[in-house]
Chain A
Amino acid sequence: MKGFAGRILKIDLTSRAVEKSPLPESLVRTYLGGTGFAARFLYDNVPSNADALGPSNVLILAPGLLNGFPVPTGGKVLFCAKSPLTGTIAESVMGARLGSELKRAGYDLLLVSGMSGSPCYVYIDDDDVEIRDAGDLWGKDTRATAEDIRRTEGDAVVACIGIAGENLVRYANIDCEDRQSGRGGLGAVMGSKKLKAIAVKGTGDLVPHDADKLMELCLRYYGRMVESPAFNDDTKYGTGEFLEWMNSEKGTFPTRNWREGVFDDREKIDPYYWAPLYMKRNNACLACPKPCGRIFGIDEGRYAGLRIDGIEYELLYSLGGLCGMGDIEELARANELCDLHGLDGISAGAAVAFAMDLFQDGILTREDAGGLNLEFGNPEAELKLIEMIARREGLGDVLAEGVKRASERIGKGSEDYAVHVKGMEPPAYDVRGIKGMALAFMTSSRGACHLRSCAYALELTGKFWKFEGVDRFSTEGKGVEIKELEDMMTVYDVLGVCKFSRGFFLAEGFVDVLRTVTGLEFSESEILELGERVNNLKHMFNLREGLTRDDFRLPKRLLTLPIPEGASKGHVVTEEEMNKMLDDYFEARGWSKDGLPAEEKTRDLDLA
């Protein structure tokens, strides 16, 4: 099979067994790679109601099908497991060369099950696979861990966890060369298995079906991306480029734990202000011609020497606006702490903002917070609390559980302050003013998420792909819209293509790419059906874990507190709107009102 490595690698940390098996051909056409393989193997290998932090959970590393080929922006790889944060499927995509390296080592997929008795790391060098002792690495930060392993193993690509993963913080992440598989607590899954790192070296060839055509295709898409109008701003200012637009023009930049939708200190954290002062160079994902990543560096003052890959839009929200904190150097330091300790910066910031909000209303006191003054906007408190979360100290131990569980522990009405869907703290889109995006938060299989659908772009501009004239304040037609977008975007995660390239490929472009790389013929509708199949399978996994319609609900704050100021002033998602959109979505999916897939649907998708 051209384009594939052709093998699966399974490692059981309890028995220390290593098994290499052929990639089943029957799965190739139906799932292709990336999130497709991940969902299938998660469903088939994790028993129902497994403890997400127990030995029967399986950590899956799934390269996108195109990883390693020079298809522009085709370097996205993902980790997947049952989430310790949401209890649903967790998957998180990152732009790192881990996927390409795994494929070149000869594997389309890595599954790690069981639990090691002592800290270990997995070392993969083509056919040579070993479980090695990581006693000396336990307790080290992500950067030091990777450096130590590379000192021993040479030019390996290293994915690892920091102390947050070791301490089973439910939103700990996995780092690979300063990029993160961030969401859903996959780092805690590694920590629970005592798996500190995965180091991969691959030297094999990746052979495309048609090399000449592939070169032609890669040049064509490369040219289109470089010539696109967004190229300049994306590479200069990164994902935060549209901050002012989100904040001022749309009024949908969640601020002070979703009390507001406009951040008054926006200009202090806007990349148009800080990029010229702090940006050292662009830092690209594998195969990206238009890198939104950048190295942010501080050369003077208390944080002299700080270097991070960032600061990305989502963290300008979670560590900035959401905590009411408008100091860019403090924000960079918070970002660095999250990276070094291996914490998802979105959930960590949201947990701090949640605590600050409770503090403001007197539900948490200085005493509860170990003496910290948790006023919104206090950077010292924010930094200290992030540190306490990673170490699970004091209030940090409670917040390390995520806002949903933390509110259940704290009680006193704090549930009303916990903004989450399925236990996942949301990203930077105030969905009270973006109704379709509110539905997308609700329906995402991993909990509140902007990337399963990327609906924000369509909702805020009114136009994308086959949709036109979309009104962000309306609830009409949103069920079909989100279903179609989810199916399309899932294909991006199957192939490992960046969703910031969504306008360049779509189903039409992928027909060519797939044929050229693999020789497989797909029609546009077959590609979208594959996306639909994968989404249904993820949903079936969640149902098996006990998910019900109630788990699709928005949190109380987004249902009851209208955005107080700005361009989305007065907007809220009502209970009726929520239910109407959800009904429409379930109908578009061919699911019952309770979210159960109809038999014909599962049969049509080969899932019966």
Chain B
Amino acid sequence: MRAIVPHLDICTGCRMCEMACSLHHEGLVNREWGRIRVHRKGIEHCVPVVCNQGASCDKECVKVCPVECIRDVNGHAVEVVREECIGCGECVEACPYNAIHMRGDVAFKCNLCDGDPTCIKFCSLEAITFEESIPEEFDRAKDAAEAVR
């Protein structure tokens, strides 16, 4: 399964992915609406954090959702069906990658833009790539995600 793979040594911290993500999904710009988010770790690293679509987790979000509104709708990605979400926040707590977020009364996460992720188009140095899973990179991303939770 293809997923968005972060490469921690490359990310430049330009945050184009964050901005383009919220513009694509919400028609406005705000990292609080970003499905992908970049965290700056001092001068050493910038860490892009985004859902790996189960490539490197057990889809904990799907398991904990009490109304089963997190599911694969069209064969591309696991997504939150916004109309059905009750805003309980269980999925946010459960995600080991810190890749599901709440704003107002809804949860939201990356849905790979229906198979053609916008963020990838704005990453000139390929700090995020859309490809078959690379477990080692996900492991590093997980540690990084924990650190920024």
Chain A residues near B (Cβ < 8 Å): 68-70, 72, 75, 97, 104, 143, 147, 155, 177-178, 203-208, 211-212, 214-215, 218-219, 222, 225-226, 231, 235, 281-291, 293, 295, 307-309
Tell me if A147 and B29 are in contact (CB < 8 A): no
Selected contact of B15 from candidates A155, A287, A307, CB within 8 Å: A287
Q: Are A281 and B42 in contact (CB under 8 A)?
A: no
Provide 7 A-B residue pairs closer than 8 Å at the C-beta atoms, listed in order of the A residue: A219-B122, A282-B12, A282-B125, A283-B12, A283-B43, A289-B16, A309-B43
Q: Which of B17-25, B80-88, B129-137 lines the interface with chain A?
A: B17-25
Distance in angstroms from B48 CB to nearest chain A CB is 13
Report yes or no: A284 in contact with B14, Cβ–Cβ below 8 A.
yes
Contact partners of A235 in chain B: CB under 8 A: 124-125
**Cα of A143 to Cα of B42 in the assembled complex, Å:** 9
User: A307-B43, A309-B43 known; A222 and B14 CB under 8 Å?
Assistant: no
Give complex CA distance A222, B118 in Å: 12
Kindly list chain A residues whose C-beta atoms are within 8 Å of the C-beta of B27: 207-208, 211-212
Would you call A284 and B30 a contact (CB within 8 A)? Answer: no
Which residues of B sit under 8 angstroms from A69, Cβ to Cβ? 19, 23, 29
Q: Which of A222, A295, A309 contacts B16 (CB 8 A)?
A: A222
B122-A70 in contact (CB<8A): yes
> Please, which residues of chain A bring their CB within 8 A of the CB of B32?
203
Chain B contacts for A291, CB-based, 8 A: 12, 14, 125
Asked if B33 is at the interface of the complex by the 8 Å CB criterion, the answer is: yes
Contact: A284 with B13, CB < 8 Å?
A: yes
Residues in A with CB closer than 8 Å to B30 are 104, 203-206
Q: Which residues of B contact A212 (CB under 8 A)?
A: 27
Whether B63 sits at the interface, judged by CB under 8 Å, is no
Partner of A211, one of B23, B43, B45, B122: B23
CB distance from B98 to the nearest CB of A (A): 13
> Which residues of B, 93-107, contact A by the 8 Å Cβ criterion?
none
Cβ of A179 to closest chain B Cβ, rounded Å: 11
Q: Which residues on B sit within 8 Å (CB–CB) of A97?
A: 15
- Report chain A residues within 8 Å CB of B121: 219, 222
Rounded to whole angstroms, the CA-CA distance of A295 and B10 in the bound complex is 11
With both beta carbons as reference points, the residue of chain A lying nearest to B11 in the complex is identified as: A281
Pairwise interchain contact A205-B28, C-beta atoms closer than 8 A: yes
CA distance A346 to B45 in the complex (A): 27
- Residues in A neighbouring B124, C-beta threshold 8 A: 222, 225-226, 231, 235, 289-290
How distant is B11 from chain A, measured CB to nearest CB, in Å?
8
**How many residues of chain B have a CB within 8 Å of chain A?**
30
Chain A contacts for B29, CB-based, 8 A: 68-70, 205-208
Closest chain A residue to B13 by CB distance? A284
> Which residue in A70, A178, A203, A293 is a CB contact (below 8 Å) of B19?
A70
Any A CB within 8 A of the CB of B140: no
Q: Is the Cβ of A218 less than 8 Å from the Cβ of B28?
A: no
A68-B29, A222-B122, A286-B15 given; 16 more Cβ-contact pairs under 8 Å:
A147-B42, A205-B26, A205-B30, A206-B29, A208-B23, A215-B118, A218-B23, A222-B121, A222-B124, A226-B124, A281-B45, A282-B125, A284-B12, A284-B14, A285-B14, A287-B16
| Given known A-B contacts A222-B124, A282-B125, A68 and B19 have beta carbons under 8 A apart | yes
User: How distant is A389 from chain B, measured CB to nearest CB, in Å?
Assistant: 23
Say which residue of A70, A177, A284 sits within 8 Å of B23 (CB atoms).
A70
Closest to B40 in A: A177
Task: Give chain B's interface residues, CB within 8 Å of chain A.
Answer: 9-16, 19-20, 23-24, 26-30, 32-33, 39-40, 42-45, 118, 121-122, 124-125
Given A215-B20, A215-B24, A295 and B43 contact (CB-CB distance below 8 Å): yes
Q: In whole Å, how far is B36's beta carbon from the nearest beta carbon of chain A? A: 13
Measured in the bound complex, the distance between the Cα atoms of B16 and A97 in whole Å is 12
Note all chain A residues with C-beta closer than 8 A to B118.
Answer: 215
**Nearest neighbor of B45 in chain A, beta-carbon distance:** A281
Contact check, A207 vs B28: say whether CB atoms are below 8 A apart.
Answer: yes
- Cα(A155)–Cα(B30), bound, Å: 15
Min CB distance, A490 to chain B, in Å? 24
CB distance from B140 to the nearest CB of A (A): 14
Nearest Cβ on chain B to A107's Cβ, whole angstroms: 15
User: In whole angstroms, how far apart are the Cα atoms of A218 and B118 in the complex?
Assistant: 11
Is the beta-carbon distance between A211 and B12 smaller than 8 angstroms?
no
Question: In chain B, what residue has the closest Cβ to A97?
Answer: B15
Q: Closest chain B residue to A210 by CB distance?
A: B27
Complex formed: what's the CA distance from A204 to B11 in Å?
A: 25
Shortest Cβ distance from residue B15 to the other chain A in the assembled complex, whole angstroms: 6
Residue of B26, B29, B121 with highest tally of chain A CB at under 10 A: B29
Residue in B20, B43, B45 with the greatest tally of chain A CB atoms within 10 Å = B43
Residues of A within 8 Å of B122, CB to CB, are 70, 218-219, 222, 289
Please, how many angstroms separate the alpha-carbon atoms of A286 and B31 in the complex? 13
- A206 near B43: Cβ-Cβ < 8 Å: no
- Quick check: B16 and A281 within 8 Å, CB to CB? no
When C-beta atoms are compared, the residue in chain A nearest to B39 turns out to be A155
Please tell me if the beta carbons of A281 and B28 are within 8 angstroms of each other in the complex: no
A309 (CB) vs chain B CBs: closest residue: B43
**Residue numbers in B under 8 Å from A155 (CB-CB):** 39
Complexed CA–CA distance, A284 and B124 (Å): 11
A208 touches B28 (CB 8 A): yes
* Measured CA separation A495–B75 after assembly (Å): 42
Q: Is the CB of A287 within 8 A of B19?
A: yes
Provide the residues of chain B in CB contact with A295, threshold 8 Å.
43-44
Residues of A with C-beta under 8 A to B45: 281
Specify the chain A residue showing the minimal Cβ separation from B20. A70
CA distance A512 to B9 in the complex (A): 35
**CB atoms of B28 and A288 under 8 A apart:** no
The residues of A that contact B42 with a CB separation of less than 8 Å are: 143, 147
Complex CA gap A150/B20 in Å reads 26
Contact of B12 (CB < 8 Å), options: A70, A219, A281: A281
- Choice from A204, A218, A282 contacting B20 with Cβ under 8 Å: A218
Report how far A100 CA is from B43 CA in the complex, Å: 20
Residue of B nearest to A295 (CB): B43
Q: Is the CB of A70 within 8 A of B16?
A: yes
Q: A289 and B9: CB pair below 8 A?
A: no
Residue on B with the closest CB to A95?
B14
B101 vs chain A, min Cβ distance (A)? 12
Residues of the A chain whose Cβ atoms lie less than 8 Å from the Cβ of B39: 155
> Are B14 and A215 interface neighbours, CB within 8 A?
no
